[in-house]
Structure 1
Amino acid sequence: LLLAGFWQRVIISIKNSKFAQVPTALFVEESAAEYLKINAALAPDENVLWSRHGGDDLITVFAVQRALLAWLQQLYVNTQLTFTHQSVALVEGLFPVAASQRDEPLYIYVDRFKLHILAFRQGKLVYYNQFLIKQFADYVKYIMVVMKGLGMDAEKTRVILWGYIGKNSPHYQE
């Protein structure tokens, strides 16, 4: 279906840990690689791309393998390609949810071997990061560290949890 040829626009979301978020006011396109180098090592076979968030004054800079980029551009020659990062979808998807909340919960998305934590204040993103999970204790450790750093009360702050987790999942029992 993706090769049908009638698509006018295709959005490709890159899922990796090589990203950095930069306030729009501080973003200089020519410095995109420098922003990324703060958080991740850029491999010689990677390009640096960036994506503007629709709901906030935020730009996500991310790496993508040059071969993947070239392959997709060859595959969709007559299509407008837009590259974005997984974090952009998470943040943009939560903006309307966060704006409708009376309190300021901590949002936690459980991915395969990764934990994404987001926090908003007054409708603005104040925190987003992803953590590699090696053992179950890592979940609690990262959540507590983030809550402490944001000045959230671990016993009173509401947590909204979703993702690869169910009541029969070992994660749920922890």
Structure 2
Amino acid sequence: MATITKNYRLLTQLIDESFTVANADVYNLYLTLSKHSIRFGAEDTIRHKFVLLEDYAFTNIFNPLQLVQQLREIIMEHAFLSTVKWHRVRVGIKNQKFTFLPGTLFEAGAAADYLKLHTEIDEFHDRVFSYQHPGLDMVAIYATDQYLPTFLQTTFQPETVQIRHQTSALIETLLHLTERIPTKRLYAYVEQNYLTLIVIKNGTLEFCNMFYYASPEDFIYFLIFVMQEQELNPDQDVVTVWGDLLHDSDLFDILRKYVRHLQLGKKPTNLSYSYKFDEMFEHRYLEVFSLHFCE
């Protein structure tokens, strides 16, 4: 058997004293992954409280198989991740293989055909999923390499596994967090090389897309371009940002240069968090918390 090289390191581990493996059947396990990171969160479903957060960084991950191999290594070597029976295992995938369709037009059997109109998918290796957004006449259609769902369903109890696209989780969270106002508001989620932009007006999704950027100049170009297309003014309209954004980074500097009213987002309300989470920035890890809202 080929040896799998460890290409990950643990960056953050926050575990509340109340967390106990014996109560795993009342915890939801949330997992988000990309070629740069894997993050885990555990929520006590009785208290609606996050009691665990772990963040692993990757290096030298070049394809989906390598990603799943590293995920397997982390889970199998973890003290409890692979051994407990979780109430729910909900996974947020991050990629650009997604689209949205009005619910009235959606036919489940044609999901792959809809997606092919917007992105390239591998008919032999990709698996297509769909998610009906509650309260919206909108269905998210997305794909991920089959290695991931196969691994998840053989590692955990298959009936507990739910796979969502990260954009759906962010949309549901923002609809929960934001007030119904008649003007458009732009929300940004920042990750390494990826920028997700969402525009909401009066409780309705107006725009959502994920952009790949290779430099701060690419990053700000996409943000300003979307603002102009959505008739928003960088000198007047507020932009709220979550994600992997550091105050001393080039991305933060260029944002402050071009957007006058910039604010950092906070953790979602109607949830509680272990005091251990107080040591992290409020705008971090929304991708994990948002899976709570994506039933």
Question: Partner of 2:211: helix, strand, or coil?
Answer: strand
Match of 2:225 among 139, 145, 149: 145
Question: Partner of 2:116: helix, strand, or coil?
Answer: helix
Indicate how the Cα distance of structure 1 residues 4 and 100 shifts in structure 2: closer, same or farther if over 3 A, else same.
farther
Question: Does the alignment pair 1:108 with 2:200?
Answer: no
Matching residue of 2:108: 29
Question: Does the alignment pair 1:40 with 2:137?
Answer: no
How many angstroms does 1:103 deviate by?
4.9
Deviates more, 1:101-110 or 1:53-62: 101-110
User: How far apart, in 1, do the equivalents of 2:141 and 2:117 lie?
Assistant: 11
Q: How does 1:78-117 map to 2 (within 5 A)?
A: 79-99=159-179, 103-117=183-197
CA offsets, 1:111-152, max 9 Å, x none? Answer: 111111110111101100010011111122111211121122
Matching residue of 1:5: 84
How many angstroms does 1:6 deviate by?
2.0
Matching residue of 1:69: 149
Aligned residues: 174
Unmatched 5+ stretches in structure 2: 1-79, 255-295
Conserved 8 A contact 1:104-1:158: no
Conserved 8 A contact 1:108-1:160: yes
User: How far apart, in 2, do the equivalents of 1:59 and 1:90 lie?
Assistant: 14
How many angstroms does 1:4 deviate by?
2.5
TM-score, with length taken from structure 2: 0.55
Unmatched 5+ stretches in structure 1: none
Question: Does the alignment pair 1:128 with 2:211?
Answer: no
Question: Partner of 2:139: helix, strand, or coil?
Answer: strand
Matching residue of 2:48: none
Question: Partner of 1:42: helix, strand, or coil?
Answer: coil
Question: Does the alignment pair 1:119 with 2:202?
Answer: no
TM-score, with length taken from structure 1: 0.91
Question: Partner of 1:99: helix, strand, or coil?
Answer: coil
Conserved 8 A contact 1:8-1:79: no
Q: What's the % identity of the aligned pairs?
A: 27
Conserved 8 A contact 1:110-1:165: yes
Matching residue of 2:134: 54
Conserved 8 A contact 1:7-1:79: no
Give the partner amino acid of 2:141.
Answer: V
User: How far apart, in 1, do the equivalents of 2:235 and 2:89 lie?
Assistant: 43
Matching residue of 2:250: 170
Question: Partner of 1:105: helix, strand, or coil?
Answer: strand
User: How far apart, in 2, do the equivalents of 1:51 and 1:42 lie?
Assistant: 18
Conserved 8 A contact 2:126-2:143: yes
Question: Does the alignment pair 1:20 with 2:99?
Answer: yes
Deviates more, 1:80-89 or 1:120-129: 80-89
User: How far apart, in 1, do the equivalents of 2:150 and 2:226 lie?
Assistant: 38
Conserved 8 A contact 2:152-2:158: no
User: How far apart, in 2, do the equivalents of 1:78 and 1:170 lie?
Assistant: 43
